[in-house]
């Protein structure tokens, strides 16, 4: 790997913006273009950039988690998000909603599909990170 | 060695305690005897797959109870016996799990009323049989024979499933009890012949009928208690049970009788002749089992009460004496270390209890009066002579195979037990009473049943027969019917047996000569079929799975194009109309960008440039999506393209050989180009067709009106993904996760290698 000072410096700024944008896409997905899948792809691009500029070890330090653990967590969350509907006596994955906060006539509703979307996000991001880190680390070893 | 009932070994104790399971079930089945003898039956059903109208239903009648008593009774003795037989073996626990698992599956088989449930239990017994034949799995022969049994009976099982489905279609129900009233219509149904062939295939493979009988002698690789339990007393009688159970549904036609009598007679005679030439104790018993199953099949081909009573009586006779003999053979093997009949002598004095069991069982097998086998043989001859179709043929086959079995019984008893010489290499000791107890009791039962046949007939045999045969005339099992034709045939059988015993070497030479003269037999066909499957697999591997990624992609894409094009051309004969007006200028600009990027991909020598140009093509498509008002699609497309370029570039950096550029020959380039062009054409035509047909907005309208009200979301695409169709999305993310983990495994493996 050739360290480029310009790339590394730009990456610090870019990656943070990319990651914030990724979470923004995830959160707004229900009402505007975005969602878990697109958000995870954005985040994956950001980490790929980070891996190219600073090396995979730096990415591992930054995320602290094992990417494969992220896949497992996402799968767990996605399946669990279907359970409340089942417990309520409806078919598996029936969306349930409740009002989390209400002010000035506006209300913020949270539902089980949101947790499902976070599960999708985790799985896709975990998969991308697993592959990119494995490839980059293989590149360093090779 | 201390001989108390509970040995110190903990595993052995637990295993021995599990014998309470068959014992309890045996007592439960026995408590039903007064009810089944009175002609009652019980049926219970729970919903299984209500959307398909399939119930998990069970019915217990006289036939079920007869089988259940055999299964659990012999199961009990086999369990107690096997603990000592396997003492010190590393996999004792596994053995008993399989054994009891098999027993429960077999009980399910003989009590199921729904044919699909029956099929499931049928296959379960096949699976357990496979696991138990291959129990000594370090031995290659064991594995090979287990696989053979699995493939032969499994193939028959598939035929049976097809037969059951056809039967369900023809009868309109999957419950056997509901099919019986429809039997008259079924016999003239156009599917009747197909159903009959398929059900016969299932029964014949399971019950080792000619020409599928070859797997049963090979199944003797299993431990002796398994041979006694599965491969003589219970599992191989599954086919017999099936034929009896479906006798009122499918039986009685000319085809039924002709096939069963012919196949059964051939199996009986071939099995009995082959048994006479064997020298391994278990092989002798295996071939006589084949012969006995042939006799039962032959008599189930009959339509009169005497024939069917003969089949059921002989079923019980055979279960009793054959399991005693198999257990005794296991004791001999266990105590002397050999099963070769010429190495065995003087066992009568050394092992008195085993000798008693063998004595009783062999006399029953030979059909001497006062033993239960005599009753079985008498009723067989009576049944054969009472038939309207082929009585002479049936009687002749029965006399010949019974005569041969008499000779085999003499071989089994006289050589090892009655001859006085003590074996030179080892002086055998009697086994523990837990081992000889079972065979001795089973042998004792053959004597008791032989003395009081009328009670057996009343409690066990007649209820079983009347469960599948309704116009029951009274068939009385008795020791002495007066001087009549069956008695004459019995005497003839004993004389024939004595003659065959004295001339056994000569008979065997003739049989061997005949075998070597016949070029085709089941084993050879099986081996050839197995080789053919292997060869076909290797051939398709060379073509389709040769390890080249290029080949995989080519095959997948080419199949897609061919199948799509074929089904498209079959469905329509007009190509879609293309509107003549020119697209707007920005679209034209986009087309120019995409086409020039494609041109760059095809012509460039640098792989990295090709990848980046492909990314441009993808980005161009994303803009097309965007301009048609699909921002979600465009966003995802753009991101996927970006990541693809990143990941592929990282891979390419790892593979220095690829950086040198395109190494394909020009022929291959032309092939690839043709396929790519064909794919493009097919997709384009499909798209134009879709666009030219009127658009159904009902689904869109549903989502539009419900997205916000029911799912609190304004972005319909996302609401569909995470709410309306979240089950689909779950499937997709499982694929993503699996692909990621598999890719990780591949990369790591590659890394370790280099």
Mean pLDDT over the full length of chain B: 87
- Minimum CA–CA partner of A93 in chain B: B726
Spatial distance between the Cα atoms of B117 and A77, rounded to a whole number of angstroms? 37
Is the pLDDT at A7 greater than 50, yes or no?
yes
Is the pLDDT at B6 greater than 70, yes or no?
no
Q: Which of A30-39, B272-281, B616-625, B657-666 has the lowest mean pLDDT?
A: B657-666
Is the pLDDT at B115 greater than 90, yes or no?
yes
Interfacial A residues in 40-59 facing B (CB < 8 Å): 41-42, 44-45, 48, 52
Is the pLDDT at A107 greater than 90, yes or no?
no
Place of tokens 């441009």: B616
The DSSP output letter for B422 is P
What is the predicted pLDDT for the residue at A42? 93
Torsion sign, CA atoms B717, B723, B728, B733? positive
- Cβ–Cβ gap A93/B714 under 8 Å: no
Q: Which residues of A touch B712 (CB under 8 A)?
A: 30, 97, 109, 111
Q: Please, what is the angle between helix A67-80 and helix B726-753, to 10°?
A: 160
Question: B480-524 pLDDT, tens per residue?
Answer: 777 788 888 888 999 999 998 888 888 888 888 888 888 777 888
Query: For residue B100, how far is the Cα from the chain centroid?
Result: 18
Spatial distance between the Cα atoms of B25 and A86, rounded to a whole number of angstroms? 39
- Write the Ramachandran bin of B40: left for phi over 0, alpha for psi from -120 to 50, otherwise beta: beta
Is the pLDDT at B754 greater than 60, yes or no?
no
Q: Which residues of B touch A36 (CB under 8 A)?
A: 722
- Cβ–Cβ gap A95/B711 under 8 Å: yes
Is the pLDDT at B657 greater than 70, yes or no?
no
Contacts of B616 by beta carbon, 8 Å cutoff, 6+ apart: B593, B594, B597, B600
Size of interface A-B (CB pairs under 8 A): 145
Nearest CB partner across the interface for A127, out of B642, B646, B740: B740
pLDDT bracket for residue B666 (50, 70, 90):
confident
Query: For residue B472, how far is the Cα from the chain centroid?
Result: 34
Torsion sign, CA atoms A65, A69, A70, A73? negative
Q: What is the least distance, in Å, from the CA of A13 to any CA of chain B? A: 19
Within B112-253, residue ranges assigned H as helices are 115-133, 140-171, 176-179, 183-187, 192-206, 215-218, 224-228, 238-245, 247-250
Is the pLDDT at B471 greater than 70, yes or no?
no
Q: How far is CA B583 from CA A64, A77, B367, B590, B693, in A?
A: 51, 46, 96, 11, 20
pLDDT bracket for residue B1 (50, 70, 90):
very low
Place of tokens 């429960």: B104
User: Quick one: which of B53, B78, B220 has its CA closest to B148?
Assistant: B220
Paired strand residues for B280:
B340
Q: What is the least distance, in Å, from the CA of A92 to any CA of chain B? A: 9
Paired strand residues for A106:
A103
- Cβ–Cβ gap B743/A130 under 8 Å: yes
Q: Which of B17-21, B328-332, B701-705 has the lowest mean pLDDT?
A: B701-705
What is the predicted pLDDT for the residue at A103? 76
Paired strand residues for B452:
none
Is the pLDDT at A100 greater than 80, yes or no?
no
Q: Is A74 on the interface with B (CB under 8 A)?
A: yes
- Cβ–Cβ gap B714/A141 under 8 Å: no
pLDDT bracket for residue B4 (50, 70, 90):
very low
Nearest CB partner across the interface for B733, out of A31, A68, A120: A120
What is the predicted pLDDT for the residue at B571? 79
The DSSP output letter for A90 is S
- Write the Ramachandran bin of B39: left for phi over 0, alpha for psi from -120 to 50, otherwise beta: left
Report the complex ipTM. 0.90
Is the pLDDT at A142 greater than 70, yes or no?
no
Q: What is the mean pLDDT of residues B440-448?
A: 93
């Amino acid at each position: 790997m050739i360290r480029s000072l310009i790339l590394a410096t730009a990456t610090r700024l870019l990656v943070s913006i990319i990651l914030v944008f990724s979470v923004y896409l995830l959160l707004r997905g229900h009402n505007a273009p975005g969602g878990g899948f697109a958000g995870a792809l954005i985040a994956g691009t950001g980490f790929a950039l980070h891996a190219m500029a600073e090396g995979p070890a730096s990415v591992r330090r930054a995320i602290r988690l094992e990417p494969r653990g992220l896949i497992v967590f996402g799968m767990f969350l996605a399946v669990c998000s279907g359970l409340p509907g089942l417990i309520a006596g409806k078919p598996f994955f029936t969306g349930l909603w409740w009002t989390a906060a209400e002010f000035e006539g506006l209300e913020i509703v949270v539902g089980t599909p949101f947790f499902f979307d976070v599960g999708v996000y985790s799985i896709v991001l975990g998969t991308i990170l697993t592959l990119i880190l494995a490839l980059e680390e293989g590149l360093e070893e090779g | 060695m201390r001989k108390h009932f509970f040995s110190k070994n903990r595993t052995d104790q637990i295993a021995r305690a599990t014998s309470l399971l068959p014992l309890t079930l045996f007592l439960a089945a026995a408590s039903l005897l007064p009810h089944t003898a009175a002609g009652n039956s019980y049926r219970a059903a729970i919903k299984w797959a209500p959307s398909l109208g399939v119930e998990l239903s069970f019915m217990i009648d006289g036939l079920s109870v007869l089988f259940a008593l055999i299964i659990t009774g012999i199961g009990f003795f086999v369990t107690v016996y096997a603990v000592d037989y396997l003492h010190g073996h590393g996999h004792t626990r596994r053995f008993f799990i399989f054994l009891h698992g098999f027993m429960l599956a077999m009980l399910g088989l003989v009590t199921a009323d729904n044919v699909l449930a029956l099929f499931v239990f049928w296959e379960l017994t096949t699976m357990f049989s496979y696991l138990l034949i291959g129990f000594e799995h370090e031995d290659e022969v064991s594995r090979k024979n287990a696989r053979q049994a699995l493939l032969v009976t499994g193939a028959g099982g598939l035929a049976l499933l097809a037969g059951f489905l056809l039967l369900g279609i023809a009868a309109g129900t999957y419950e056997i009890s509901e099919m019986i009233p429809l039997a008259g219509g079924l016999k003239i149904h156009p599917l009747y012949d197909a159903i009959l062939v398929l059900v016969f295939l299932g029964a014949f493979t399971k019950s080792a009928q000619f020409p599928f009988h070859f797997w049963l002698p090979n199944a003797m690789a299993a431990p002796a208690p398994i041979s006694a339990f599965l491969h003589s007393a219970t599992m191989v009688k599954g086919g017999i049970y099936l034929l009896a159970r479906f006798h009122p549904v499918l039986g009685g036609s000319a085809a039924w009788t002709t096939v069963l009598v012919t196949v059964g007679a051939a199996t009986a005679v071939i099995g009995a002749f082959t048994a006479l030439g064997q020298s391994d104790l278990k092989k002798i018993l295996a071939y006589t089992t084949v012969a006995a199953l042939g006799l039962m099949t032959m008599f189930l081909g009959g339509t009169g009460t005497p024939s069917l009573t003969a089949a059921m009586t002989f079923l019980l006779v055979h279960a009793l004496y054959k399991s005693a003999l198999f257990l005794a053979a296991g004791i001999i093997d266990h105590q002397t270390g050999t099963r070769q009949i010429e190495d065995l002598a003087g066992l009568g004095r050394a092992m008195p209890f085993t000798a008693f069991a063998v004595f009783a069982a062999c006399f029953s097998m030979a059909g001497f009066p006062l033993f239960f086998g005599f009753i079985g043989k008498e009723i067989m001859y009576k049944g054969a002579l009472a038939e309207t179709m082929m009585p002479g043929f049936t009687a002749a086959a029965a006399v010949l195979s019974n005569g041969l079995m008499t000779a085999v019984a003499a071989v089994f008893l006289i050589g090892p037990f009655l001859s006085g010489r003590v074996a030179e290499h080892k002086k055998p000791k009697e086994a523990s009473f837990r081992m000889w107890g079972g065979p001795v009791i089973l042998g004792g039962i053959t004597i008791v049943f032989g003395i009081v046949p009328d009670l057996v007939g009343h409690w066990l045999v007649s209820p079983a027969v009347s469960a599948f045969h309704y116009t029951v005339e009274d068939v009385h099992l008795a020791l002495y019917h007066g001087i009549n034709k069956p008695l004459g045939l019995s005497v003839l059988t004993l004389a024939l047996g004595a003659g065959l015993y004295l001339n056994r070497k000569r008979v065997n030479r003739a049989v061997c000569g005949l075998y070597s003269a016949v070029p085709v037999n089941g084993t050879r066909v099986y081996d050839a079929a197995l080789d053919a499957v292997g060869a076909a697999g290797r051939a398709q591997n060379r073509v389709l799975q040769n390890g080249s990624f290029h080949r995989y992609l080519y095959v997948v894409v080419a199949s897609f194009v061919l199948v799509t094009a074929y089904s498209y051309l079959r469905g329509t004969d007009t190509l879609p109309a293309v509107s003549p007006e020119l697209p707007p200028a920005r679209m034209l600009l986009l087309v120019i960008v995409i086409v020039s990027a494609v041109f760059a991909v095809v012509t460039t020598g640098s792989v990295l440039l090709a990848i980046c140009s492909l990314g441009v093509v993808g980005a161009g498509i994303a803009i097309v999506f965007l301009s048609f008002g699909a921002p979600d699609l465009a966003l995802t497309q753009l991101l996927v393209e970006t990541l693809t370029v990143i990941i592929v570039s990282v891979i390419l950096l790892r593979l220095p050989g690829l950086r040198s550029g395109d190494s394909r020959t020009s022929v291959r380039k032309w092939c690839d180009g043709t396929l790519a062009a064909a794919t493009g054409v097919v997709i384009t035509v499909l798209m134009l067709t879709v666009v030219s047909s009127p658009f159904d907005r009902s689904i869109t309208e549903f989502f539009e009106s419900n997205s916000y009200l029911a799912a609190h979301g304004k972005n319909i695409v996302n609401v569909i993904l995470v709410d309306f169709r979240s089950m689909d999305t779950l499937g997709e993310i499982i694929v993503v996760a699996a692909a990621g983990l598999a890719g990780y495994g591949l990369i790591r493996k590659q890394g370790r290698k280099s």
